[in-house]
Chains A and B, each alone.
Chain A
Amino acid sequence: MGASQMGARIKRMEDPQHLRGQANFVDDLKLPGILHAAILRSPHGHAAIHGIDLSAVRAAHGVIDAFCLADIWPTDPPPIPVLVPVDSLLPCPQFPMASDRVRYVGEPVAVVVASSRAEAEDALELAKVEYEVLPAVVDPEAAMQADAQGLHATVPGNVGARWTQGFGNTAAAFASAETIVSERFKMQRYTAVPLETRGVLATRDAVTGELTIWSSGQWPHTARGLTAAMLGLDERSVRTIQPDVGGGFGVKAELYPEDVLIPLAATRVKSPVKWIEDRREHLMGIVHAREMIFDLELALRLDGTILGLRGTIISDQGAYFRTLATINASLAITGLPGPYRIPNYSAEVICVLTNKSPCSPYRGAGGPEATYARERLFDVAARQLGIDPAAFRLKNLVPPEAMPYDTSLVSVESTVVFDSGDFPAALRQALEQVDYTGFREKQQRARSEGRLHGLGICVYAQMASVGPYESAEVRVDGGGKVTVVSGAAPQGQGTGTALAQVVADQLDVPLDKIRVDFADTARIPFGVGTYASRNAVMAGSAAMGAAVRVREKAAQMAAHLFECSPVDIEWHEGDARIVGVPGRSFSLAQLAQAARPGGSRPEGMEPGLEIRHYFETHAAPFSYAVHLAEVDVDPATGGVTVVRYVVVNDCGKLINPMIVEGQIVGGIAQGLGGALFEELVYDAEGQLRTTNLTDYRLPGSLDLPNVEISHLVSPSALNPLGVKGVGEGGAIGSHAAVANAVEDAIAHLGARVRVTPLRPAVVWELLQHGHASASEGV
C-alpha cells in the first residue's frame, strides 16, 4: 500500500469542510421551532439578592418562559461538583443560578426564553432584582486578611484550600546554603479566549423523552454525566454531542451553569432552546486562569548548584470552586521544580476566593505559572552569582542518565516522573541554533549603541497526557470502509487525521477509506475527552489498540476461511493470505462480510470486524522543550518586539509533525500574549474592565516571528505509539521565555521583571525606575 503514515506531514481531512464554510459549530445548528435564551447576569461583583421579580419579563413580547433558581429548586439546588478534590478543600460550590448572593460580575441570576435572542434581551431589561451591594474582594492577599469581606460562610478567611508538598529537608538545605536568592513573582489573570465563544443547544424529544445537548465543549461524556445528575435524569436519557468547536484550550472543559440551564429550559418549554455566549459574557464568565503569586527562595552554592527550593504560591481562584478548581494549584506546586535536580523542595499553595470569575485549567494549567516563576528565579540567581543563565541551567538540569526521573511529587492528575528525554542536549542544541556566544557579543554591541536586545531561556517539562482511559471503536464494513469512533473531543487539533494515520498503518488501508467520529455519547458509551494534551497518547493508543485487535480478528477470520491456523496468515497490501501462497487472498471487505452475524466464524468469535478498546493507564508521560526568545525593547516607547523564537521540542514520536508544529506555534502565541499584553482587569468593586477585544488584546500576525522548531525524539515507553502530548507546551514555555528575554534586555539598566504583562507602559516604567508599580492602572 505504501509508506507508513506515522510521522507523515499529510494534509488534514478536517479542512475542506471548514474551507468551504460548511462546518457545524453549535450556532450553525438549526432545529425546527427553535427558541433562544438569554441570561440575566449579576451586574455587581458582590451583592446579596433580596428579591427577583420576573413578572414583567414573562409578559414581554416574544417571551415563552423565564425562571430563576427558586422556580426550579425551591430547596436543595444541585451544586456543580468538584471532580478533583483535595483533602483541605472547603465547600464553596456554584449552583446553576444565584439565589441569595452573587459573587462575580456575570454570574447567572435568571434565564429567559423567547422567539429570538434580541427579544430575550429586550425582555431581560424588565427584570427587577433587588441587590444589596457588598464590598468586593479582588486582591487575593487582601482577601486573606482578618478584616476582609468573606465570600462564603463555609470558607473562613476566603482560603478554600491549602496544602504543602515537597521532599527532602529544606531547613537543612537552606541552613547550609552559601547564598540564598529570594524573589516574588506575579502572573496576571488571563485566559484562553477562543475565537468561538461557548454555546449550548438542547432539545427534548417529545416522544422518547431523550434530551439531546449540543455544546461547544471538550468533554461530552463527563458533561453528560454531570448534567444528568444535576437534572435528576438517567444518563441513558441524555445524549451530549460536541459539534465542531472553535477552540477550547481547556476553558471549555468545565460544567458551566448554562450547561444545565439550557437543557432545563428546553425541557420546560418543550422546544429546542439555543444559547450563544456573546464576547462580553465570555470575558466575564469563561473560566479565568493564571493569576498566581510566587514567593520563592533558592538555596545555592556559589558555584550555582541548587541545594533547595521553597516558597508559597497564592492562587487566586475566583468566586467558586467548580469541577477542576484544584488543578492549576496542584500542577503549579508539583511543576515548580521542573526538569531540574533539586534535592530539597517544600512549597505551600493557598487557594484564595475572590469576587471574580472562577478559575480552572487553561492550556498548561499551572505549568505556565510555575515555569515562569522558576525560570525567572533562575535568571535572578544566575545574575546574582555572576553565572551565565544558560550555564546555570545546564549545571542543574536532570541529566539523561538519571531518566526515568521520579521527582516523588504527585499532582491530582499524575505522578511527576520524567519518563524519557535529554534535557541538557535540548538546551545545548537550542543554544547552538541561536549562536548563543555570538548573541552575547551582539547584545554587547547593541548596548553600546543604546539598543536593548535580550534573549530569554526557558526549559520546562509538561505532563503530556492524563488518564484514566480513552475509548476507541474501529469497525470495517462490508465495503472495506473503516469507521473509527473515539471518545476524544477535539476542538481543532486535527485529531481525526492523526487517528486515521494510526489506524491506516495498522490496517494497511488508504486514508480516504477512513472516517473518524468523535464526541457523541450515543456513538460510544465511555469517553473522557480532549484536554491536558492527551489526544495523541490516549485517543491514539486506544485507536491503535482497537485497530490491532481488528486486524487480529481479521486474521482469525481469514484463517477460518482458508482453514488454516492464524499463524499461517500474512498481510500483503492490506489483504490476508497464507504465507507463501500468493494466489489467494481476502480483502478486509470480504472478511468483514464473512464475519457478519449468522455466518460461519471461528468458535467463540463475536460477529463483525469491529472492536471497542479502552487504553487504560494512570501513568502520564512527560514531554519537554527548550524555548529561546530574542527580543528588541524600544527605549522610547517600551514596546517589545519578539524578533526570533527557537524551540527544541521533544514529545516522543510524532504522528503528524505538521500538526505538532501547529500546536507549538499556536501555544507560543498564547504565552507571548500573556507575557506582553493579555490581562483580565477588575476594579475595586469587582467590575471587569476588559470586556471586549479592544481592551483585552489578543496576539495578531505582527506580534510573532516565524518560530523555528526542531524535534528531538525520546519515545515514551508508557504507550504503544511511543508518543507524548504536546498541545499545551507552547503556552507553557513562551510566557517564561519572553519575560526572561525582556529582563535580559534591560537588566543592565537596573530593571527587574517581577510582574506581567509587560505592556509598553510597564516596560517604560521599568526603564525609568527599575521596577514597575504592581497594581493595575499603571
Chain B
Amino acid sequence: MRPSPFAYISVRSVDEALQALADYGEESKLLAGGLSLVPLLNVRQVRPRHVIDLGRVDELNYIRLQDGGLMIGALTRQRTVEDSMLVRDHCPLLYEAIKQIGYVRIRNQGTIGGAIVHADPLGELPAVAIAAGARLHVRGLRGDRVLDAVAFFTGGGTTALAHDELLLAVEFPAWVGSVGSRFREFSPGGSGYAIVGVAAMLSIDDAGLVQRIGLGLMGVADCPFDAAFAAAGLLHGRTPDAAVLTQAADAVATAITPNSDLKGSAAYRRHLARTLTEQTLKDAAGQARPYPMH
C-alpha cells in the first residue's frame, strides 16, 4: 500500500521546524528517522497533509557530557549512540539496551528522539528513559520545558508533548553513589520483537543501602511503564540482597495489569515481567559502582 498524498518539507533548524509545525498545525507530522511514522503511512493508518523532515537539523545531532551526565540530541541516530564511548561510560544502561533494538539497518536510520516520542510500549528506549530518570528537553513556540521521562508516556501511544512542540534532547542525568544497571528483554529467536523487557537502574550509598531505583518495563501496559513506585517502598534504605530483590520483583508483578494478545496471556506477561525484573535488579545490584565505568 502507498501512503495517502502529502507535502514534504525539509527543515534545517529547530526554529524552522517549530515554524512549520505552527504553519501546518494538527495535520502535520514530524519525521525523524521515519521508522515509526513511515510504517503507519504505508498502511494509511495516519494521513498527514504535511510531513516535516527533521533529518537535516544538524544542531540536534550530538552526544555531550553535561554535569557528569549525558545530553543526546533528539536526532542522533541510534547507531551513533551504540558506537559512543561516552554513552558506554556514562550510561551503560542505554549502551546495553540500544544494541537490542531491531537490526543494524533500523539503528542506522532510527533516532533516539523518534523512538522516545513514538512511545511504543514495546520500545527499548522509552523503558530505558524511564529507568534512568531521563529528562526530555522540549521546545515549543511558547518556550522551553523539561519533562521527566517517568511522566512523559501518557498511554496509548500518546505523550506529554504538545503538537506544536519538538523534542530537542534527551538528558541522562548523572546518578549519585554506586550505580548499577541492567537491561533484559525476552525476544524469541532474536526476532527483534520483544514480548516483555525490563530496564533497571539503582544506586547504593556508602552504607550499601539503596538510594534510588528506576524501573522501566516493556510489554506490560499500553505504554512504556514506570514500575519504580512498586519496588521503591521495598527497596529504599535497604540492602539489596536476593530476598529483598525477589520481594520487589513480586511487588512489580502485582502492580502491573498486562493485556492478553497473540504473543502471550496476561499471566504469562506478568510472569516474564517478574522474572526479568528479578534478574535485572539482581544484576544491577551486583554491578553497582561509581560512574564513569572506564
Judge: A and B partners, yes or no: yes
- Point out residues on A near B: beta carbons under 8 Å: 116-118, 121-122, 278, 280, 636-639, 677, 679, 681, 689-690, 692, 694-695, 697, 699-700, 702-703, 759-761, 764-765, 776-778
With A and B bound together, what is the CA distance between A118 and B42 in angstroms? 11
* Distance (whole angstroms) from the CB of A188 to the closest CB of chain B: 12
Closest 7 A/B residue pairs (Cβ): A761-B264, A118-B2, A702-B190, A761-B268, A703-B189, A702-B189, A278-B1
With A and B bound together, what is the CA distance between A694 and B122 in angstroms? 12
Q: A637-B275, A697-B193, A702-B189 are in contact. Are A778 and B1 (CB under 8 A)?
A: no
Q: A121-B2, A764-B268, A765-B268 are in contact. Are A759 and B189 (CB under 8 A)?
A: no
Q: Is the CB of A778 within 8 A of B265?
A: yes
Q: Could you tell me which residues of chain B, from 265 to 294, have a CB within 8 Å of some CB in chain A?
A: 265, 267-268, 271-272, 275
With A and B bound together, what is the CA distance between A314 and B7 in angstroms? 53
Chain B residues, CB < 8 A from A280: 1, 43
Chain A residues, CB < 8 A from B207: none
With A and B bound together, what is the CA distance between A761 and B196 in angstroms? 11
10 cross-chain CB contacts under 8 A: A118-B3, A637-B186, A690-B262, A692-B43, A695-B262, A760-B186, A760-B195, A761-B195, A761-B264, A777-B262
Q: Is the CB of B268 within 8 A of A777?
A: no
Q: Is the CB of B264 within 8 A of A778?
A: yes
* Distance (whole angstroms) from the CB of A642 to the closest CB of chain B: 10
Chain A residues, CB < 8 A from B233: none
Q: Is the CB of B188 within 8 A of A639?
A: yes
The 0/1 profile, CB within 8 Å of A marked 1, for residues 239-280 of chain B is: 000000000000000000000111111011001100100000
Chain A residues, CB < 8 A from B190: 700, 702
Q: A122-B4, A280-B1, A760-B195 are in contact. Are A681 and B268 (CB under 8 A)?
A: no
**CB contacts between A and B, total, < 8 Å:** 69
With A and B bound together, what is the CA distance between A116 and B44 in angstroms? 16
Q: Is the CB of B189 within 8 A of A699?
A: yes
With A and B bound together, what is the CA distance between A690 and B261 in angstroms? 11
Q: Could you tell me which residues of chain B, from 174 to 229, have a CB within 8 Å of some CB in chain A?
A: 186, 188-191, 193, 195
The 0/1 profile, CB within 8 Å of A marked 1, for residues 26-66 of chain B is: 00000000000000000110000000000000000000000
Q: Is B5 an interface residue (CB 8 A)?
A: yes
With A and B bound together, what is the CA distance between A699 and B189 in angstroms? 8
* Distance (whole angstroms) from the CB of A199 to the closest CB of chain B: 15
With A and B bound together, what is the CA distance between A280 and B90 in angstroms? 43
Chain B residues, CB < 8 A from A776: 262
Chain B residues, CB < 8 A from A764: 264, 268, 271
Closest to A679 in B: B262
Closest to A695 in B: B262
With A and B bound together, what is the CA distance between A697 and B191 in angstroms? 8
Chain B residues, CB < 8 A from A777: 260-262, 265
Chain B residues, CB < 8 A from A677: 188-189
Beyond contacts A679-B262, A703-B189: 20 other A-B pairs, Cβ-Cβ < 8 A, are A117-B2, A118-B2, A118-B3, A118-B5, A121-B2, A122-B4, A122-B5, A280-B1, A280-B43, A697-B188, A702-B190, A759-B188, A759-B264, A760-B188, A761-B263, A761-B265, A765-B268, A777-B260, A778-B265, A778-B268
Chain A residues, CB < 8 A from B272: 637
Q: Is the CB of B1 within 8 A of A765?
A: no
Q: Is the CB of A121 within 8 A of B1?
A: yes
Main secondary structure, interface of B, reads loop
* Distance (whole angstroms) from the CB of A162 to the closest CB of chain B: 32
With A and B bound together, what is the CA distance between A777 and B268 in angstroms? 12
With A and B bound together, what is the CA distance between A116 and B1 in angstroms? 12
Main secondary structure, interface of A, reads loop
With A and B bound together, what is the CA distance between A700 and B188 in angstroms? 10
Chain A residues, CB < 8 A from B44: 121
With A and B bound together, what is the CA distance between A638 and B268 in angstroms? 10
* Distance (whole angstroms) from the CB of B266 to the closest CB of chain A: 10
* Distance (whole angstroms) from the CB of B73 to the closest CB of chain A: 29
Q: Could you tell me which residues of chain B, from 139 to 196, have a CB within 8 Å of some CB in chain A?
A: 186, 188-191, 193, 195
With A and B bound together, what is the CA distance between A35 and B267 in angstroms? 52
* Distance (whole angstroms) from the CB of A10 to the closest CB of chain B: 33
* Distance (whole angstroms) from the CB of B103 to the closest CB of chain A: 10
Q: Is the CB of B265 within 8 A of A765?
A: yes
Closest to A279 in B: B1
Chain A residues, CB < 8 A from B265: 761, 765, 777-778
With A and B bound together, what is the CA distance between A703 and B190 in angstroms? 8
* Distance (whole angstroms) from the CB of B64 to the closest CB of chain A: 35
Chain A residues, CB < 8 A from B4: 122
Closest to B39 in A: A692
With A and B bound together, what is the CA distance between A118 and B1 in angstroms? 7
Q: Is the CB of A700 within 8 A of B262?
A: no
With A and B bound together, what is the CA distance between A121 and B190 in angstroms? 35
* Distance (whole angstroms) from the CB of B159 to the closest CB of chain A: 22
Q: A122-B5, A697-B191 are in contact. Are A759 and B263 (CB under 8 A)?
A: yes
Closest to B272 in A: A637
Q: A699-B189, A700-B190, A764-B271 are in contact. Are A689 and B5 (CB under 8 A)?
A: no
Chain A residues, CB < 8 A from B193: 694, 697
Chain A residues, CB < 8 A from B2: 116-118, 121
Q: Is the CB of B195 within 8 A of A689?
A: no
With A and B bound together, what is the CA distance between A690 and B263 in angstroms? 11
Q: Is the CB of B268 within 8 A of A639?
A: no
Interface residue from A117, A278, A700 paired with B189 (Cβ < 8 Å): A700
* Distance (whole angstroms) from the CB of A636 to the closest CB of chain B: 5
Chain B residues, CB < 8 A from A639: 186, 188
* Distance (whole angstroms) from the CB of A355 to the closest CB of chain B: 19
* Distance (whole angstroms) from the CB of B5 to the closest CB of chain A: 7
The 0/1 profile, CB within 8 Å of A marked 1, for residues 86-122 of chain B is: 0000000000000000000000000000000000000
With A and B bound together, what is the CA distance between A278 and B190 in angstroms? 25
Closest to A640 in B: B188
Q: A121-B2, A636-B275, A764-B271 are in contact. Are A778 and B260 (CB under 8 A)?
A: yes
Chain B residues, CB < 8 A from A121: 1-2, 44
* Distance (whole angstroms) from the CB of A559 to the closest CB of chain B: 64
Closest to A696 in B: B262
* Distance (whole angstroms) from the CB of A61 to the closest CB of chain B: 10
Chain B residues, CB < 8 A from A694: 193
Q: Is the CB of B191 within 8 A of A700?
A: yes
Chain B residues, CB < 8 A from A765: 265, 267-268
Chain B residues, CB < 8 A from A636: 275
* Distance (whole angstroms) from the CB of A101 to the closest CB of chain B: 25
Closest to B196 in A: A637
Chain A residues, CB < 8 A from B1: 121, 278, 280
Chain B residues, CB < 8 A from A702: 189-191
With A and B bound together, what is the CA distance between A692 and B40 in angstroms? 12
Chain A residues, CB < 8 A from B5: 118, 122
* Distance (whole angstroms) from the CB of B193 to the closest CB of chain A: 6
* Distance (whole angstroms) from the CB of A197 to the closest CB of chain B: 12
Interface residue from B3, B191, B262 paired with A689 (Cβ < 8 Å): B262
Max chain B C-beta neighbours (<10 A), residue from A280, A677, A778: A778
* Distance (whole angstroms) from the CB of A524 to the closest CB of chain B: 38
Closest to B268 in A: A761
Chain B residues, CB < 8 A from A117: 2
Max chain B C-beta neighbours (<10 A), residue from A681, A689, A690, A760: A760
* Distance (whole angstroms) from the CB of B82 to the closest CB of chain A: 19
Chain A residues, CB < 8 A from B264: 759-761, 764, 778
* Distance (whole angstroms) from the CB of A62 to the closest CB of chain B: 11
* Distance (whole angstroms) from the CB of A728 to the closest CB of chain B: 24
* Distance (whole angstroms) from the CB of A388 to the closest CB of chain B: 31
With A and B bound together, what is the CA distance between A689 and B262 in angstroms? 9
Chain A residues, CB < 8 A from B43: 280, 692
